[in-house]
Amino acid sequence: MCFLPEGMSAFLDVHDCGVQLAAAKKAKTRKFYLMIDKVLWDYTPTGMDLYDGSNLMGEGSSKIKSKYFTAGKKRIGGTYKKFMYYGYKDSDFKERLYRWESDKHLGFLGPVIRVEDNDVLQVTLFNNGSKPFSFYPYGLLPNDPKKVDKGGLHNKAVYPGSEHTYTFQVPPGGGSGKAPCSTSMYHSAVDPVRDIHTGLVGALLLCKKGSLDHDGNQKEGEERVLYPAVVGGNHSNLNVLLQKEGEERVLYPAVVGGNHSNLNVLLQKEGEERVLYPAVVGGNHSNLNVLLQKEGEERVLYPAVVDENLSWLIDDNIKQFTIPEEVDRHDHEFWESNKMSAINGLMYANMYGLEFCKWTKVFWQVFALGDEKDVEGLHFHGLNFEVEGRISDTVPLLPGKTHALATKVSESGQFTVLAYNHVHCPSV
C-alpha cells in the first residue's frame, strides 16, 4: 500500500547556503540499458509443488494450492501477462543480455545493477510497453535535483515507444558488514503500487570502492581456482569447459603419460580471472569433465505477495484466460486467487539457481516491498549469518527493508528457504 494518496507525506527542502566542499575525484560512469517489455509469466513452470512433490492442480492438489493455479471460465490460473525490465548490451536495443545459470533465480526481477561509491549511474530506458513507466532507484541522488518533480518518486515518465536516459549520483557508504555490497532496489514509479505489481522491479547493489571488476560483477563472487590432478593412463576424451562471457584466464594444462587422442580445452568469454592447472598423469580416463565452480556467489531474493488484481494487465489477463462475462471481480475468492505469494515471482520451490558447492561463500542480497501482508521472516534452513548484530538463520523483513548477508555453505544436502508469515507461508 502507498500512503501518498492518503496524505502521509511531507516535503524536505534543502537550500544552497554557500558551503563549499573539496572537489571530488573524477567519478566513473556506469551505463545500463533497460527495455520494458511484455512477458507471459508462469509462477510455477513445472506445474508441481517441488517442496513436497504434489500436484498444484487436479488430483492430489490441496485446496490452498489449487485456488491459485486452477484456470477456468472464472479463474485466471497461475500464468499472467506482465511487464519486466530486460537488460541490453547498448543503446541500439538489439542484443538482449543473456541470463546465465547463476542468474536464473532472479525470476521476473530486472537485471541486477551494481555501482560503487561516488560513481555516476546512467540508465537508458526504452519503454516497449503500453503505459508510461519509469526507472526509480532507492538510495541514489538525482544528477540535477532541480529537475526532479516534487514528490520525488514521480521522476521522468517514459511513454510507450520512447526512451529516456536517467543520471544519478552514487553517495559514499556502500557495503554492509562482511558483504562488499549493500542491497537496494529500483522500480517504476509513475504509479508505484501498480507498476511494482505489474512486474517492474529489480535489485540495485551499492558497493564499496574497488569491489567490482571491469565487467561490473562482485570480485569476491567471481574468483576461482581449480587444480584437478588426474593420475594414470588413457585419456581419450578429456574436456575442460569454462563458460561465461568477458573472462580472463591463465591456463596451464599439464598432461604426462598415456594416450591423449582428444584433449580439448575450451575457454569462452572474456572478463574474469582464473588460474587453471589440470595435471593429468597416466591412467585410464575415458570421459573426464572438469567443471569450474565459483568460490563466492551472489543471490538476490525478493519475497512478496504479488497482487495481480493491482496489475495494469489484469484486464488483459481476464480477457485471455477466462470468460470475462463469467468473472465477478468483487468476488472474494477471485480476488484472493490472484494474490501470488512468491520469491522473485516463483512459487512452491520452483526457483532454480540456488545450487552451490560446499564451503562456497554466498552473498545474499534481500529486499522487500509491499504492504502489511509483506511483514515476514525469511528463514534459511541450515544456514547462519549475522543479522543486525546477532547470529540467526532468519531475516526479518518489512516493506522497504533490505539486507546484505554473507555466509559459507558448510553442509551438503538440500535445504529450504521459507517466508514465515501466516498469510502466505504455505505458498513459497
Q: What is the pLDDT of residues 346-397, one digit of tens each?
A: 999 999 888 888 888 889 999 999 877 767 788 888 888 888 778 888 888 8
In one-letter notation, the amino acid at residue 131 is K
Q: Which of 399, 401, 394 is nearest to 418 (CA)?
A: 394
288 φ, ψ to 5°? -110, 120
Which ranges in 148-248 belong to alpha helices (H)?
192-198
- Interatomic CA distance for residues 76 and 314, integer angstroms: 10
Q: What percent of the chain has pLDDT over 90?
A: 45
Q: What is the pLDDT of residue 217?
A: 84
| Average pLDDT, integer, range 3-9 | 59
Q: What is the pLDDT of residue 383?
A: 85
Q: What percent of the chain has pLDDT over 70?
A: 71
Q: What is the pLDDT of residue 324?
A: 96
Computed over every residue of the chain, the mean pLDDT equals: 79
| Average pLDDT, integer, range 268-275 | 41
Neighbours of 110 (CB within 10 A): 25
Q: What is the pLDDT of residue 355?
A: 87
Q: What is the pLDDT of residue 283?
A: 45
Please tell me the number of Cα atoms within 13 Å of 107 on its side-chain side.
Answer: 28
| Average pLDDT, integer, range 222-240 | 40
| Average pLDDT, integer, range 276-287 | 42
Contact at 8 Å (CB) between 393 and 381? Answer: yes
Neighbours of 104 (CB within 10 A): 14
Q: What is the pLDDT of residue 224?
A: 35
Q: What is the pLDDT of residue 228?
A: 43
Query: By mean pLDDT, which of 9-13, 17-21, 155-159, 233-237 is the weakest?
Result: 233-237
Q: What is the pLDDT of residue 240?
A: 41
pLDDT band at residue 262 using 50, 70 and 90 as cut-offs: very low
Q: Where, residue-wise, is CATH 2.60.40.420 in the chain?
A: 29-218+297-427
- Interatomic CA distance for residues 204 and 220, integer angstroms: 17
315, three cell numbers: 484486464
Element (H or E) spanning 335, and its range? helix 332-337
* Superfamily of domain 29-218+297-427 in the CATH hierarchy: Cupredoxins -  blue copper proteins (2.60.40.420)
Q: What is the pLDDT of residue 107?
A: 96
